[in-house]
């Protein structure tokens, strides 16, 4: 029996609609729109697409979008000065610096310069520390989106055995912390994990965020497992096809025969990232304005 598809695109659309409604109420109460600043350094094609999409989504949600595009050769000090101005700007509730940065810039130093109260990406060490110690704070958008999809499908996650494949600061580590907070038993696997297949085989929940195309096969999975595929990989066109194929870290064809539920690529986790970014920015706006959100987003 084929797995149920977890439709991240539909969930993200509903979340963005709720954010839009809450943003309108916020503007009426605060006398200003919530504001999100996005900074792009250089002209990386993928980053330009992401920044454009984020700006468009921000405006569609009724929030103010502040886009700052800097040349690739911009000195690091100039970028840090821009972040300092955005930190002090009362119209800006959230700051996102698009990664990767040019090689002459220290990403850790740039991220550290962002006011933790405006760190809607959840990348600062303060945000990471608050997540690790169970305190409220901003959580990276992709793993929080994954958690929303899991809870929407499974309900209470308490007691589930979960495997997170990947240990990045952006997805793997925060994903593990979020699942621990939901009382899952969590294993974090990575490139040096021995016998990865047997670890995955016992998991009720599998989150694949390793960046290797179609690595996780259907025969790795426990029958009925819920699979969240974070990967986005481009493969050469198949025979007779003109365009490159977009695939995840999970072999969808075989996994969908074994899993109970699975996110597709595209249309699964990807749309959740921008939706959660908007949600985080609106939460920040309410905190800065001293207002309470009427509903949990």
- Residues involved in catalysis: 54, 98, 121
Residues 6+ apart with CB under 8 A from 36: 54, 58, 63, 64, 65, 66, 92, 93, 94, 95, 96, 120, 277, 278, 281
Long-range own/partner contacts, residues 251-257 (CB < 8 A, 24 or more apart): 251/214, 251/215, 251/216, 251/217, 251/218, 252/214, 253/218, 254/217, 254/218, 254/219, 255/3, 255/216, 255/217, 255/218, 255/221, 255/227, 256/2, 256/3, 256/218, 257/2, 257/3, 257/218
């Amino acid at each position: 029996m084929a797995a149920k598809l977890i439709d991240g695109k539909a969930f993200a659309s509903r979340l963005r609609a709720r954010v839009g409604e809450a943003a309108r109420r916020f503007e009426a109460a605060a006398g200003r729109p919530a504001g999100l600043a996005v900074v792009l350094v250089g002209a990386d094609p993928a980053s330009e697409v992401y920044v454009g999409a984020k700006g468009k989504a921000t405006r569609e949600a009724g929030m103010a979008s502040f886009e700052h595009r800097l040349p690739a050769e911009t000195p690091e000090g100039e970028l840090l000065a821009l972040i300092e101005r955005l930190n002090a700007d009362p119209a800006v509730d959230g700051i996102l610096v698009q990664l990767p940065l040019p090689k002459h810039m220290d990403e850790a130093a740039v991220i550290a310069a962002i006011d933790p109260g405006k760190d809607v990406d959840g990348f600062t060490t303060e945000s990471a520390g608050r997540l690790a110690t169970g305190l409220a704070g901003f959580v990276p958008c992709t793993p929080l989106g994954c958690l929303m999809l899991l809870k929407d499908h499974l309900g209470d996650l308490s007691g589930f055995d979960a495997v997170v494949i990947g240990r990045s600061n952006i997805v793997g580590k925060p994903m593990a912390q979020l699942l621990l907070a939901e009382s899952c038993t969590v294993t974090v696997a990575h490139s040096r994990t021995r016998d990865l297949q047997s670890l995955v085989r016992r998991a009720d929940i599998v989150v694949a965020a390793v960046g290797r195309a179609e690595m996780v096969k259907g025969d790795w999975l426990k029958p009925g497992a819920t699979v969240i595929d974070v990967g986005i990989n481009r493969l050469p066109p198949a025979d007779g096809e003109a365009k490159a194929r977009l695939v995840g870290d999970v072999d969808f064809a075989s996994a969908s025969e074994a899993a109970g539920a699975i996110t597709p690529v595209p249309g699964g986790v990807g749309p959740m990232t921008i939706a959660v970014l908007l949600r985080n920015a609106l939460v920040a706006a309410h905190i800065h304005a001293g207002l309470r959100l009427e509903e949990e987003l």
